Amino acid sequence: MRHGQRKMTLRALAALMLAGACEAAIGAVCATDDRGEQVCLEQPAQRIAALSPGATELVYASGAGDKVVAVVAYSDYPPAAKEVPSVGSHTRLDLERLMTLQPDLVIGWVTGNPPAQLAALEDLGIPVFFIEPRTFDGVSSTIERLAILAGSEDAGFAEAERFRKGIKELAARYEGADPVPVFYQVWDEPLMTVNDNHLIGKVITLCGGRNVFGDLKRLVPRISDEAVLAANPEAILAGGMGEENRQWLDRWAAFPQLAATRHDNLYFVPPSLIQRPTPRLLHGSRLFCEKLDEARAHRANTGPGQP
Amino acid sequence: MSRLLAPSLLVLAGISLLAMALSVSVGSVSVPAGDLLSVLSGGGSKLHQTLIFDLRLPRTLAAFATGGLLAVAGALMQVLLRNPLADPYVLGLSGGAAVGALLAMLAGLGTALISGSAFAGALLATLLVFGLAHGTGSWTPSRLLLTGVVVAAGWGAVITLMLAIAPAQRLPGMLYWLMGDVSYARTPWPGLVLLLVVCLILFPLGRSLNVLARGPMQAAALGVAVRPLEWLIYLVASLLTATAVTTAGSIGFVGLVVPHMLRLVLGNDQRIVLPACALAGGTLLVLADALARVVIAPEQLPVGVITALLGVPIFLYLLYRSQG
């Protein structure tokens, strides 16, 4: 009898503890970051620090822009982000100023932020959610995960869906399009391009292009002028320094034997639209696809079979 | 002589404490003096406590330890190699550490393993140079210097190769590590303890070091066991440098210039110069780091920029004055 009573008490105690645990868990939010670690907050984040320009864009896209209390240098989009206090550059963080802004969630960049400084933040008890989207799905899932942590699921999931749908539409439209051999120039000196695994490489494939350097092993290979001439791309697309700088394309104008030069297919794509893994990538991809359409139109003008 | 010079050590210690107090009280966020005092006596807001005790104090101590270690290592290398251009990195130790650290970064390992790998690389570089210089012939400082410089060039090539083939997304982290910065220091204690222990060990050897600095023949004639002493200096300097590099990457300039500055001011008595190096090297890096944190806050400068900007004019002034 007494034994049973004790058992009862224990059970009641266990039930109470369980109830307590549940109570603590109510309002808690969890998401898995790009290191594969689960980050849990007792309640949705109210004060978010975004430690890369891309992270800032993604937090705004997830509908939590009004909760951003700290950004880093070059966080220029959306324009509202320029008004948020900066805590240094993504490579050298001013931890003092960051702590003073009292963030309850920090969005770190897996390979871009100094690991020692982010580890110091975690030691101080501030949850750090590491991101590094490398695919179209990565962009939309990052927006969703940030929305969960910030408690802005409605806006965030809608934006993620808009991005996902936009990419799907492009994929459907260009599925059977004539392949265009493309060279994308990431950098000028040294001359650099991307392979098929890079997000920009995926944009090329999405638009029905064929990356002439897609099979190279390195994500961002360094190549020579000769390799470009030998590959003879039909279209060359380049970023550049600044948003309106066609300078990098001038070097190719000197080679009339290049198909791209002959067909006048030297195009500038604003780097901020395509080099950041954020929702603006959809806009950049549309632009990219339009350029390849132009290249296909030029082909029709000069007759087929002459790439 | 040391009775005359002991006060200079006291003065330096005082300056070090002032520098550390300054470094703890300034930052990109200004903490009013009144709040500062209440934080130090255990009160104050939680935020201010975090700023002072979790961010500024460990960083200040790490800067002091790193600067002290580098300056003492530089002074020892200059005695060992009897070459004024010697610094802690001249024998390729920082190159070995960098190769270790970069390999760990290429493999995607965490911060603790990067530090461990850097330390292992530094020790490997030390043993490599030691073994090669030992060789079959005689073990002379010039042979050691030549071996070290060539091995350092080899490390440099390996570093360039690794940077060239590294995936683009790992490149920034690797470059920052090579620049060196106190903000990467996680804990100051290994450096501080080692600095203290080494100063205590070296003090009784000061006289022998003084004799050795004048040349091995004289030292041998005066009864100093030259070979074991040289080995000891080499190993101690390597351990100091390895610890400094592991704490904060390869920060240049401190190890080369601080020992020279002190010799210009205090004379060439190693019993004074070595502990003075620990204090002055630490002070220089503490002040440089404090400036690096605030000059263009919230942006942070690499501390090496400031050590050189502070050190070059001071050193040139002392050199100019000593000739005039």
pLDDT, tens digit, for every residue of A99-143? 999 999 999 998 888 888 898 999 999 999 999 999 999 999 999
Q: Residue A107 belongs to what H/E stretch? A: strand A105-109
Closest C-alpha among A114, A90, A129, A116 to residue B113: A116
Nearest to A96 among B55, B114, B173 (CB): B55
CATH 1.10.3470.10 fits B90-186+198-251, yes or no: yes
* Smallest Cα distance from A112 to chain B, Å: 7
Shortest Cα distance, chain A CAs vs residue B127, angstroms: 29
- Nearest Cα neighbor of B302 from B285, B315, B280, B316 is B285
Count of CB pairs separated by less than 8 Å, A with B: 87
Chain A contact for B49 (CB, 8 A cutoff) = no
- Tens digit of pLDDT for each residue in A202-245? 999 999 999 999 999 888 888 888 899 999 999 999 987 666 66
Distance, C-alpha A110 to centroid of its chain: 12
**CB proximity under 8 Å: B 186-205 to A:** 186
Bridge partners, residue A92, by sequence: A89
Contacts for A301 with CB less than 8 Å, ≥ 6 apart: none
Distance CA A144, CA B221 (A): 78
Cβ–Cβ contacts within 10 Å for residue A294, how many?
Answer: 16
Calpha distance A283→A127 (Å, rounded): 32
- The domains of chain A, with CATH numbers, are 26-164 (3.40.50.1980), 177-302 (3.40.50.1980)
Are the beta carbons of B64 and B284 closer than 8 angstroms? no
Res A302: pLDDT: 62
Q: How many Å apart are CA B65 and CA B193, to the nearest integer?
A: 9
Q: How far out from the chain centre does Cα A250 lie?
A: 29
Q: What is the pLDDT of residue A2?
A: 45
Express the helix, strand and coil content of chain B in percent, nearest 5 each.
80, 0, 20
Partners of residue A220 in chain B, C-beta under 8 Å: 167-168
Annotated domain spans of chain B: 1-16+254-324, 90-186+198-251
DSSP SS3 for A49: strand
Residue among B28, B60, B247 with most chain A CBs within 10 A, to mutate: B28
Q: What angle do CA A64, A70, A75 make, to 5 degrees?
A: 85
Contacts of B49 in chain A (CB under 8 A): none
Residue with tokens 């990195």: B89
Residue A3 has pLDDT above 70, yes or no: no
Reply yes or no on whether the pLDDT at A12 is more than 70. no
The pTM of the full predicted model, rounded to 2 decimals, is: 0.81
ipTM of the assembly? 0.76
Measure CB to CB from residue B176 to each of A91, A124, A218 and give the nearest one. A91
Cis upstream peptide for B298 (omega within 30°): yes
Could B172 and A111 be called an inter-chain contact, meaning their C-beta atoms sit closer than 8 Å?
yes
Contact indicator for B250, B94 with CB cutoff of 8 Å = yes
- Could you give the CA distance from residue B65 to residue B281 in angstroms, rounded to a whole number? 9
